[in-house]
């Protein structure tokens, strides 16, 4: 029997719970793999416990790869390695501390397990074969973009489902370095997995058991003692993020949607929803920086969307690609939010008429119970009562922002009803801990609507959601990854990613803004501010080029961009948007 409109939320929660349970099993697999850490053994015949590997990088690209080593040498003294670099910008020094035997996947009895043994950003390889030796350092793996790219049983799920190391890419590089076939290297070489500089005693070491996962959800980290971000640095980061988008905006108003950070080359693909969100950030940045170039870029990107993406959706207008017949409401909601930002900040290029046209489409998607159908069939001219992630919060924010401009009580009531329905349908109990949901747009809608129609239920939901997130926010010693502090992950082996840290913290800034207006107890305000501050510091560390400069073919071309993670240096426009909007939020709630 077909599901009715009112059945979708419960069905969605069940699917989320199932996905969370599967994710838990995957996390335990990762934890089991990471138990096999390298042993602290002498790294050369003289008994040295550490070697400093100095590498000079060739930035000339071949076959779309990133920079490759053009000179490399191992030193016992770090000073000697630094002298080898001689102050060159594109030279790095990496310190190897420990090693363990390693076999590639085809040589093991457990398929894919060796892929997961390699800690992204920390582990590299040393190989010996017939008197020849070759190193592949974490920097080289980063330049190759071999981390988080392994083909696994989950790869069939699509892009983003890869994990571990891309062994084929590693074998190809070793084959080139040693002049031997990949099969010979895999079957005959003495291979070691080498750990490069890692915290010695993580507070939450992976045990490989299910208890590790459950303990991570319940952990209660102590109050942070980290430095607070400086407003000057945050403003500069906002300007640099906007500058990245300005440089990658074309005359037709479209962006380089995805750029491979190590090569600075664009890759194919486009989504108008992410374009609309990026226009929203550029409008925010224009208001913060007062930069004429940023204002012009925001106008150009808005004009490009208006000319290229506005479609007929029955009697109303929506945002969609030309070939898109089944249209989601997210792109239109984000476009309304972006257009509202132009009006609220009084930026040139504001288009109230277009905003109102798009708003009619969102209002036409409302269902009798106050929720919103998430799709529309343009061919059949029919509403599809489906439910997809993020859209409820985006539409609620679009209604609330438009009410703040137009003053129409119907918009206020529509936003309030949708907001409270969204809160009511959120995962609860154990399912809520396994899959707490994605509320970053919901909590921003709470903030936008608070002065006109405060919702205590939505505020309580956002605070509870941030407490769950806060229990999963890394502090020093939580993980073996490079500087994960401020990012989020359910276990000590979760790779810290940039966009989840940014989007959760956009919501933390919005929730904190409400807490400050509501005269909420100091404990709640403090934990929200601590969470937001830590995430902002993480974002500031990850903004390109940062520590990755030596491994990028053109650091200036990607300056200001935000990558997917510390080891995945692809820059997508929504990564920049979420990080930039989080930084703007921080500025708004910081005295």
- Name beta bridge partners: 317: 312
Picking from 352, 276, 353, 284, the residue whose alpha carbon sits closest to that of residue 319 is 276
Helices and strands in the chain: count of H runs, count of E runs? 20, 14
Alpha-carbon span 304 to 249, nearest angstrom: 10
Taking CA 311 as the corner, what is the angle to CA 307 and CA 315, rounded to the nearest 5 degrees? 135
- In this prediction, residue 207 carries a pLDDT of 41
- In this prediction, residue 162 carries a pLDDT of 67
- In this prediction, residue 482 carries a pLDDT of 77
- In this prediction, residue 291 carries a pLDDT of 97
What are the structure tokens assigned to 504, written together?
A: 């959760």
- In this prediction, residue 15 carries a pLDDT of 46
- In this prediction, residue 237 carries a pLDDT of 98
Helix (H), strand (E) at residue 132: strand 132-136
In a structure prediction context, what are the per-residue pLDDT tens digits for the chain, which is 591 residues long? Answer: 233 333 333 444 444 444 455 555 555 555 544 544 566 666 776 777 789 999 999 887 655 578 889 999 999 999 999 999 998 989 999 999 888 888 876 655 455 666 677 888 889 999 999 989 999 999 999 999 998 887 766 555 555 566 778 888 888 888 888 889 988 988 889 988 898 986 554 554 444 444 555 555 555 555 556 578 999 999 999 999 999 999 999 999 999 999 999 999 999 999 999 999 999 999 999 999 999 999 999 999 999 999 999 999 999 999 999 999 999 999 999 999 999 999 999 999 999 999 999 999 999 999 998 899 999 999 999 999 988 889 999 999 999 999 999 999 999 999 999 999 988 876 665 455 555 567 889 999 999 999 999 999 999 999 999 988 888 888 877 777 778 889 987 666 678 899 999 999 999 999 999 999 998 999 999 999 999 999 999 999 999 999 999 999 999 999 999 999 999 999 999 999 999 999 999 999 998
Per DSSP, the three-state class of 47 is coil
Alpha-carbon span 322 to 309, nearest angstrom: 7
Task: Evaluate the CA torsion angle 105, 132, 59, 197 in order and state its sign.
Answer: positive
Picking from 315, 293, 292, 317, the residue whose alpha carbon sits closest to that of residue 305 is 317
Tokens 């000319």 sit on residue: 307
Which class would CATH give 271-421? mainly alpha
- In this prediction, residue 542 carries a pLDDT of 96
Cis peptide leading into residue 545 (ω within 30°): yes
- In this prediction, residue 499 carries a pLDDT of 94
Three-state secondary structure readout of 91-134: EEEEEEEEEEECCCHHHCCCCCHHHHHCCCCCEEEEEEECCEEE
In the chain the first and final C-alpha atoms are separated, in Å, by 55
Picking from 507, 513, 569, the residue whose alpha carbon sits closest to that of residue 535 is 507
Helix (H), strand (E) at residue 259: strand 258-260
Tokens 């571990």 sit on residue: 164
The domain segmentation of the chain, as residue ranges, is: 37-198, 208-229+236-247+258-263+426-591, 271-421
The C-alpha torsion from 422 through 423 and 427 to 433, rounded to 10°, is 140
Alpha-carbon span 472 to 481, nearest angstrom: 15
């Amino acid at each position: 029997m077909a599901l009715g409109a009112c059945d979708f939320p419960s069905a969605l929660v069940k699917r989320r719970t199932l996905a969370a349970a599967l994710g838990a099993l995957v996390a335990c697999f990762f934890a089991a793999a990471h138990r096999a850490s390298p042993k602290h053994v002498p790294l050369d015949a003289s008994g040295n416990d550490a070697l400093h590997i100095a590498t000079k990088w060739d930035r000339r690209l071949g076959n779309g790869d990133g920079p490759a080593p053009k000179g490399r040498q191992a030193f016992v003294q770090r000073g000697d390695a630094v002298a080898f670099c001689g102050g060159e910008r594109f030279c790095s020094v990496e310190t190897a501390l420990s090693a363990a035997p390693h076999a590639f996947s085809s040589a093991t009895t457990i398929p894919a397990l060796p892929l997961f043994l390699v800690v992204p950003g920390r582990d590299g390889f040393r190989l010996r074969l017939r008197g020849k030796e070759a190193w592949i350092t974490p920097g080289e793996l980063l330049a190759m973009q071999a981390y988080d790219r392994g083909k696994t049983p989950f790869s069939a799920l699509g892009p983003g489902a890869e994990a571990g190391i891309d062994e084929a890419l590693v074998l190809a590089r070793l084959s080139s370095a040693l002049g031997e076939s990949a099969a010979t290297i895999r079957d005959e070489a003495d291979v070691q997995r080498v750990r490069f500089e890692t915290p010695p005693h993580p507070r939450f070491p992976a045990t490989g058991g299910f208890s590790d996962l459950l303990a991570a959800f319940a952990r209660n980290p102590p109050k942070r003692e980290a430095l607070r971000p400086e407003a000057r640095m945050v403003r500069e980061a906002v300007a640099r993020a906007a500058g990245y988008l300005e440089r990658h905006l074309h005359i037709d108003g479209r962006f380089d949607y995805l750029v491979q950070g190590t090569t600075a080359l664009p890759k194919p693909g486009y989504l108008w929803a992410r374009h609309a969100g990026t226009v929203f950030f550029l409008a925010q940045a224009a208001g913060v920086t007062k930069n004429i170039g940023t204002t012009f870029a925001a106008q150009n990107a808005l004009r490009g969307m208006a000319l290229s993406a506005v479609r007929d959706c029955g009697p109303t207008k929506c945002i969609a690609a030309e070939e898109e017949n089944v249209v989601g409401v997210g792109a239109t909601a984000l476009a309304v939010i972006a257009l509202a930002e132009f009006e609220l900040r009084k930026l040139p290029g504001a288009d109230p008429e277009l905003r109102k046209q798009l708003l009619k489409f969102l209002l036409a998607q409302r269902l009798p119970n106050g929720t919103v159908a998430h799709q529309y069939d343009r061919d059949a001219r029919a509403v599809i009562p489906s439910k997809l992630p993020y859209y409820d919060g985006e539409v609620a924010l679009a209604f609330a922002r438009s009410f703040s401009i137009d003053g129409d009580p119907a918009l206020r009531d529509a936003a309030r009803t949708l907001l409270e329905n969204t809160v009511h349908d959120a995962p609860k109990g154990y399912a809520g801990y396994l899959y707490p949901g994605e509320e970053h747009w919901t909590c921003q809608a709470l903030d936008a609507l608070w002065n006109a129609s405060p919702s205590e239920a939505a505020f309580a939901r956002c605070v509870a959601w941030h407490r769950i997130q806060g229990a999963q926010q890394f502090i020093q010693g939580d993980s073996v990854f490079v500087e994960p502090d401020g990012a989020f992950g359910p276990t000590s082996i979760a790779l810290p990613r940039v966009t989840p840290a940014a989007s959760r913290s956009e919501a933390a800034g919005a929730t904190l803004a409400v807490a400050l207006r509501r005269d909420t107890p100091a404990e709640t305000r403090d934990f929200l501010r601590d969470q937001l501050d830590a995430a902002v510091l993480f974002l500031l560390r990850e903004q390109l080029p940062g520590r990755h400069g030596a491994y990028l073919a053109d650091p200036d071309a990607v300056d200001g961009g935000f990558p997917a993670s510390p080891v995945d240096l692809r820059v997508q426009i929504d990564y920049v948007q979420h990080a930039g909007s989080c930084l703007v939020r921080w500025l708004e709630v910081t005295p």
